[in-house]
């Protein structure tokens, strides 16, 4: 191994509990994570048939030895969250190391083998690395390591060396975070904004410390926001000095006679009048409508011109209501503006059926595959605007992508209750039991009445319709 510092890495996902598409999806998600690691050259996505069925995988032909630790840590983190049957193969020169497992510590056990090829230390080093990855060694972990030392017949000095190597110079998670924050703060004092080269080195430090981006995100936001605020104050002070210098120069010049500003064009004047009228109400009252009609006649504007101006201003202030199918979304916008959530939910059903179904029947998965994007964006945009992004299809999609199953999605948005030990009994709620107020769970509204065949006893949405709808939403509104 010492003669060759490059490692050939291959990983396959062959879990039979997943179908072909699900395996491909899991591998593609992990592939995107690996691409974000620094110093890893040309990872390749591979797929194909195998003796035990379809397999999806990732291959890195030339992996630097110092990049193996963050790579295996990434795979181990994935197994902690989703313990799927995974095969990892490392080739160093003519030596092959291979493991097929669902456990993160067994994946990490490949690291000491690849580094030193010492079978005697395999389990101990893998377990020590797994314990040290996040929190250092707790009392119970140290007790387990001590018992394992006796089982492997390691002397205390050897075990201490392995533990020290696993922990590195910073024994606890807090110490690693503290070291990252110290270096980040020093770099910001040295230069701001940070250069691309510095950002790359900071990312390498983060990975070498065994930290995820989520671990350091709050620290980065705090220091970068403070630096940005300081820079903004400096820029504002410079701008103030420049303005004062300009003002002094102007005061030294003769003051010209003020020129009367030209009147704005009549269309702009009507736009200003109309915008002032509906600044706090969706529709003008009779008095304001009469005054606007007088302005139209005085400024010699056609009815079509003022209608176009009023629609543009209203859309800008209260949300666009564009449709490719001629659907009128004005009532939906008014109901959401006035916070009439249940009436808006029923109106959503009407406009969705009108846009997606010629006979106003519930939308099936096949109809959802061709639902017009313009109308989908309009409905979602109105719900997002008037719920401060708490409701709407995009909010529901975020929950859907974060949950492992459709049942978990239905439970999180509050459309289904799970009962019994482990939540194995799933009960769909009746539509009358749903919540129509601002305190409902995130993504609870709008409901999918338009995809339900009946609402007499339960409100239930089929998994095929859920998958098809979010596929269409991803096409129309990429995340």
Average pLDDT (60-87) is 89
295 shares its domain with 423: no
Final residue of a domain: which of 54, 84, 116? 116
Long-range own/partner contacts, residues 438-442 (CB < 8 A, 24 or more apart): 438/339, 438/341, 438/387, 438/390, 440/391, 440/414, 441/412, 441/413, 441/414, 442/390, 442/391, 442/395, 442/399, 442/413
Residue 466 — very low, low, confident or very high, per pLDDT cuts 50/70/90? very high
Instruction: Identify the domain containing residue 6 by its residue range.
Output: 1-116
pLDDT value at 66 more than 70 = no
- Look at the pTM and tell me if it is higher than 0.95: no
DSSP symbols for 201-250: HHHHHHHHTT--HHHHHHHHHHHHHHHHHHHHHHHHHHHHHHHHHHHHHH
Backbone angles phi and psi of 48, in degrees to 5: 165, 180
Residue 2 — very low, low, confident or very high, per pLDDT cuts 50/70/90? very low
% of the chain exceeding 90 in pLDDT: 43
* CB neighbourhood size of 198 (10 A): 15
What DSSP element (H or E) covers 100? strand 95-101
Average pLDDT (105-122) is 73
Give residue 377's pLDDT. 96
In a domain, 453, yes or no: yes
Number of separate domains in the chain? 3
Contact 63, 6 (CB under 8 A): yes
Average pLDDT (194-198) is 90
| Mean pLDDT of the chain, nearest integer | 85
Give residue 135's pLDDT. 59
In a domain, 181, yes or no: no
CA distance 179 to 176: 5
Residue 126 — very low, low, confident or very high, per pLDDT cuts 50/70/90? low
365 shares its domain with 422: yes
363 shares its domain with 446: yes
Highest mean pLDDT among 164-168, 208-212, 240-244, 372-376: 372-376
Give residue 39's pLDDT. 79
93 shares its domain with 57: yes
Give residue 54's pLDDT. 58
Q: What is the CATH number of the domain that holds 19?
A: 3.30.70.100
Contact 202, 183 (CB under 8 A): yes
CA distance 195 to 199: 6
Give residue 89's pLDDT. 94
Average pLDDT (239-259) is 76
427 shares its domain with 298: no
Final residue of a domain: which of 116, 142, 173? 116
335 shares its domain with 470: yes
Mark out the alpha helices in 357-452 (DSSP H runs).
Answer: 365-368, 373-386, 393-402, 406-412
**3-state class of 170 per DSSP?**
coil
Give residue 376's pLDDT. 96
Which residue has better confidence, 237 or 387? 387
296 shares its domain with 370: no
Contact 467, 409 (CB under 8 A): no
Which residue has better confidence, 458 or 315? 315
Tokens of 451: 């995809």
In a domain, 404, yes or no: yes
336 shares its domain with 472: yes
In a domain, 128, yes or no: no
In a domain, 223, yes or no: no
> Could you check whether the bond before residue 446 is cis, i.e. omega within 30 degrees of 0?
yes
309 shares its domain with 400: no
CA distance 320 to 304: 19
């Amino acid at each position: 191994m010492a003669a060759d510092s490059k490692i050939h890495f291959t990983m396959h996902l062959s879990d039979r509990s997943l179908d072909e598409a699900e395996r491909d999806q899991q591998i593609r998600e992990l592939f995107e994570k690996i691409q974000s690691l620094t110093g890893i050259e040309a990872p390749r996505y591979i797929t194909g048939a195998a003796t035990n069925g379809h397999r999806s995988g990732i291959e890195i032909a030339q992996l630097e030895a110092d990049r193996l630790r963050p790579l295996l840590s990434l795979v181990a983190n994935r197994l902690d969250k989703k313990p799927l049957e995974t095969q990892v193969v490392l080739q160093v020169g003519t030596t092959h190391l291979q493991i097929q497992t669902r456990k993160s510590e067994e994946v990490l056990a490949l690291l000491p083998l690849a580094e030193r090829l010492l079978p005697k230390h395999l389990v101990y080093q893998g377990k020590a690395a797994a314990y040290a990855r996040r929190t250092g060694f707790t009392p119970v972990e140290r007790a387990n390591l001590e018992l394992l030392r006796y089982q492997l017949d390691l002397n205390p000095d050897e075990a201490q060396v392995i533990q020290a190597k696993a922990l590195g110079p910073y024994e606890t998670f807090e110490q690693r975070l503290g070291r990252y924050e110290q270096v980040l703060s020093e770099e910001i004092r040295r230069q701001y904004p940070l250069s691309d080269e510095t950002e790359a080195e900071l990312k390498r430090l983060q990975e070498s410390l065994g930290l995820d981006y989520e671990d350091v995100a709050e620290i980065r936001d705090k220091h970068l926001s403070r630096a940005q605020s300081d820079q903004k104050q400096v820029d504002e002070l410079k701008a103030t000095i420049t303005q004062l210098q300009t003002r002094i120069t102007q005061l030294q010049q003769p003051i010209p006679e003020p020129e009367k500003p030209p009147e704005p064009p009549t269309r702009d004047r009507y736009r200003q009048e109309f915008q002032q009228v509906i600044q706090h109400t969706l529709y003008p009252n009779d008095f304001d409508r009469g005054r606007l009609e007088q302005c139209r006649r005085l400024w010699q504007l056609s009815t079509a011109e003022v209608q176009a101006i009023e629609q543009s201003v209203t859309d800008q202030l209260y949300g666009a209501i564009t449709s490719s199918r001629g659907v009128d979304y004005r009532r939906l916008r008014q109901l959401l503006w006035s916070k009439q959530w249940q009436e808006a939910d029923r109106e959503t059903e009407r406009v969705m059926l009108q846009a997606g179904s010629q006979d106003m029947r519930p939308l099936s998965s096949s109809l959802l595959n061709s639902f017009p994007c313009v109308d989908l964006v309009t409905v979602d945009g109105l719900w997002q605007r008037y719920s401060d992004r708490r409701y709407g299809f995009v909010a529901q999609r975020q929950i859907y992508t974060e949950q492992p199953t459709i049942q978990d999605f239905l439970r999180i948005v509050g459309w289904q209750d799970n009962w019994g030990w482990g939540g194995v009994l799933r009960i769909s709620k009746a539509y009358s039991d749903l919540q129509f107020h601002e305190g409902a769970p995130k993504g609870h509204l709008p409901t999918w009445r338009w995809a339900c065949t009946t609402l007499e006893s339960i409100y239930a949405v089929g998994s095929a319709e859920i998958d098809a709808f979010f596929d269409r939403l991803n096409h129309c509104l990429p995340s």
